[in-house]
Structure 1
Amino acid sequence: MSHLSTHVLDTTNGWPAAGVAVSLTDAAGVLVASGRTDADGRISSLGPDLLAPGEWTLSFATGAYWAALDTGTFHPRVTVTITVPETPGTTEGPDDPAPHLHVPLLLSPFAYSTYRGS
């Protein structure tokens, strides 16, 4: 089981993307949690304290963010699906029974990038 956080950075303007709505759904598509990025572009804890093994999907409402800046965008929503491993310690280390999963999103109006953060 794992703990999840995210961070959205507006790479076009060079600042954190504050106010981005983010939702978390399980493998069946059931909404588990939602929130908005803070002034630093972060959500320090999204969902339950521990995520069960399996697939989870983060959905970032990027269209509303760009609209608030009066900027057009090609990607009105960014969807990122991650896997929480069955075996504890397979992402962090053998002594970490509940690894922290961090999903950063680097965002511009016409492109995005994400990776497994720390």
Structure 2
Amino acid sequence: MSSLSTHVLDAVGGSPAVGVQVSLYAQHESGWQTTGSGTTDGDGRVASLADGLASGTYRLVFATGDYFARAGTEAFYPEVVVSFVIEDERHYHVPLLLSPFAYSTYRGS
């Protein structure tokens, strides 16, 4: 079984994105089901969104619009959705580098 964490960085401010709500969903035959959630801490991290994840397709949904609204910053993306596949037993880390009009992500460990 695998585990998952994330880290959100604000590229414009050059700092951790604190207070971003993150939800984890697993794909099932009946659709997407919530598997975990959390809010980024003072370092922009959610250290453990879920443990014991089986192989399959998952998605993280980052509430980026709410984060930028609290900062009084206009933003294009109300949320960022990152879908990915877990294939083996290991720790997965999915960071998000965020700005009001762009984002990037990658598979970390």
Q: TM-score, normalised by structure 1?
A: 0.87
Once the two structures are superposed, the pairs formed by residues 1-118 of structure 1 within 5 Å of their partners are 1-27=1-27, 28-47=31-50, 49-85=51-87, 88=88, 98-118=89-109
RMSD (Å), alpha carbons:
0.8
Aligned length: 106
Measure how far apart 1:82 and its partner are. 0.9
Aligned partner letter, 1:101 = Y
Deviations 1:52-91 (A, max 9, x none): 1010010000000000110010011000011011xx3xxx
Secondary structure at 2:53's aligned position in 1? coil
Structure 2, unaligned stretches of length 5 or more?
Answer: none
Q: Which has the larger radius of gyration?
A: 1
Greater strand percent: which structure? 2
CA separation in 2, counterparts of 1:7 and 1:100? 14
CA separation in 1, counterparts of 2:92 and 2:10? 21
Percent sequence identity is 57
Structure 1, unaligned stretches of length 5 or more?
Answer: 89-97
Measure how far apart 1:44 and its partner are. 0.6
Aligned partner letter, 1:13 = G
Structure 1 outlier segments of 4+, above 3 Å: none
